[in-house]
Amino acid sequence: MDRILIEGPNRLIGEVAIRGAKNAVLPLMAASLLVDGWMTITNVPRLRDIDTFNTLLMHLGADVETDYDGGVLRIRTPQLKSDEAPYDMVRTMRASVLALGPLVARFKRARVSLPGGCAIGARPIDLHIMALKKMGAEVSVEHGFVNVKAERLVGASIRFDTVTVTGTENVMLAAVHAEGTTVIGNAALEPEVVCLADTLIKMGARIKGAGTDTITIEGVNALKAVEVEVIPDRIEAGTFMVASAMTRGNVLIKNCPYKFLDALIVKLKETGTEIRQEKDGVRVIGDIPIRSVDVKTMPYPGFPTDMQAQMMSMMATAGGLSVITETVFENRFMHVSELRRMGADITIDGRTAVVRGVRALSAAPLMATDLRASASLILAGLAAHGTTEVSRIYHLDRGYERIEAKLLGLGAKIKRVKA
């Protein structure tokens, strides 16, 4: 297994460009199942999760053409070869569940493996199932699979009791072909949901309210394939912002989705970080000592759970006491035990972590446990004294394109050691 070695501490200085958002590409790829023509998706990053979804689409019967250098993905699904999203694919990437909505909408049936336990909590799909049932689908769970059948889906009023991003996306993907009007209450407001809605509208769907907590979808008979550009990745951008802030860096982040990063920017400014919009991007200048801040993750537009681990690394090196509360997932503190091995002073009580900044971390061998936790360990390694070795970095490759090359370009002493 590949490992990453980082020699710290090191100031990051220079420019970095942000690529398209993984969490926006995946639902667009799912949307391609709705039509038989070629969908063209541009600004696509090279990531393992996207490869996994490609494999799933090809398994279902899609033709896929990739030009990763150009960031272009072309997909068409003239017919269905299989209606099943197998366990191996859903297990490695929970977002495979996004195939459910479009498969039922177009082919009237789908069989998706239950995702099972996940490193960051139980992550059930009960809300996806509840919504499809309300739309008239017959749902049964057998042998670890959810089987969904619907001769015709009908519009329904669906209210989520928990805000769910892929749940909201799945209902939109299913409802575009339903008979009548579907209303989603307590819908997710994430920019990636809006990106999917805009694309579906371009394809001919009738959708109103995306970006608010009530989304209305009026079913239509036919949709057409289109070309669409993916929005920039706010989590990749946020990760580089924190990297610059915690290394006393001076980094210009190009193609930075500033408007999607409000909650993070407010917090970073409170730490003493200077953030300013320039003609070519967003400049982030770190300062020492880092002031401790409290953070509570929330659905968008709140502080993103996908930035919690990175922020915790920064707080581990800050000058005071920080309380970090994770409200979105019940078990998303796996990075804590690794950070402690670097000398961080963190105690956990349920969903709350109390971080007493120790100013300087010391390098240690570390193990990545999930995607964003991996990023937090890389950041800690940049700030720590000595050589940090992060193993199991395949998690990192799921969601960050060439992160070590980008950090190297900013002056980090970092290298990947091939297995």
Q: Which range, of 120-128, 255-263, 381-389, 411-419, touches ligand UD1 by CB under 6 A?
A: 120-128
Q: How far apart are CA 313 and CA 39, in angstroms?
A: 40
Quick check: 308 binds ligand UD1 (CB under 6 A)?
A: no
Q: What is the C-alpha to C-alpha distance for residues 217 and 176, in angstroms, rounded to an integer?
A: 6
Number of residues that bind ligand UD1 (CB under 6 A): 22
C-beta closer to ligand UD1: residue 193 or 379: 193
Whether 195 is catalytic is no
The answer to whether 135 contacts ligand UD1 (rule: CB under 6 A) is no
Spacing of C-alpha 378 from chain mean position: 18
- Using alpha carbons, select from 111, 183, 112, 129 the residue that is nearest to residue 154: 183
8 Å CB contact between 380 and 363: no
Binding of ligand UD1 by 134 (CB under 6 A): no
Regarding 165 and contact with ligand UD1 (CB under 6 A), the answer is yes
Q: Which is nearer to ligand UD1, 38 or 394 (CB)?
A: 394
The single residue of 58, 72, 118, 285 carrying the catalytic annotation is: 118
95: contact with ligand UD1 by CB under 6 A: yes
| Binding status of residue 303 toward ligand UD1 by CB under 6 A | no
Residues in CB range of 126: below 8 A, 6 or more apart: none
Least distance to ligand UD1, CB of residue 235, Å:
7
Q: Helix, strand or coil for residue 92?
A: helix
Distances (CA, A) of 324 to 260, 302, 339, 357, 368: 21, 13, 14, 12, 20
How many Cβ atoms are within 10 Å of 14's Cβ, its own excluded?
A: 15
Site membership for ligand UD1, residue 214 (CB under 6 A):
no
Tell me the per-residue interface mask from 7 to 46 with ligand UD1, x by CB under 6 A, - otherwise.
----------------x--x--------------------
From 67-75, 77-85, 163-171, 257-265, give the range in contact with ligand UD1 by CB under 6 A.
163-171
Look at strands 365-367 and 386-391 and give their pairing. parallel
SS3 label, residue 135: coil
User: To the nearest whole angstrom, how small is the minimum distance from the Cβ of residue 167 to ligand UD1?
Assistant: 5
Tokens of 87: 């366990």
In whole angstroms, the minimum distance from the beta carbon of 399 to ligand UD1 comes to 8
| Residues in region 181-200 near ligand UD1 by CB under 6 A | 192
Rule CB under 6 A: say whether 173 interacts with ligand UD1.
no
Q: Which is nearer to ligand UD1, 175 or 363 (CB)?
A: 175
Which of 122, 103, 105 has the alpha carbon at shortest distance from 114?
A: 122
CA distance 74 to 255: 23
Residue 164 beta carbon to ligand UD1: minimum distance, rounded to whole angstroms:
3
Virtual torsion, Cα 197, 202, 204, 209, nearest 10 deg: 30
Written as one string, the DSSP assignment of 224-237 is ---EEEPPB-HHHH
Interface characters, 312-351, with ligand UD1 (x: CB under 6 A): ----------------xx----------------------
Candidates 32-40, 67-75, 105-113, 164-172 — which segment interacts with ligand UD1 by CB under 6 A?
164-172
Task: Please state, in angstroms and rounded to a whole number, the distance separating the CA atoms of residues 343 and 357.
Answer: 10
Locus of tokens 């009007």: 181
Query: Shortest CA distance to 334 belongs to which of 364, 365, 370?
Result: 370
User: Smallest gap, in angstroms, from Cβ of residue 317 to ligand UD1?
Assistant: 24
Binding-site ranges for ligand UD1 (CB under 6 A): 23, 26, 94-95, 121-128, 162, 164-167, 192, 305-306, 328-329
Please give the positions annotated as active site.
118
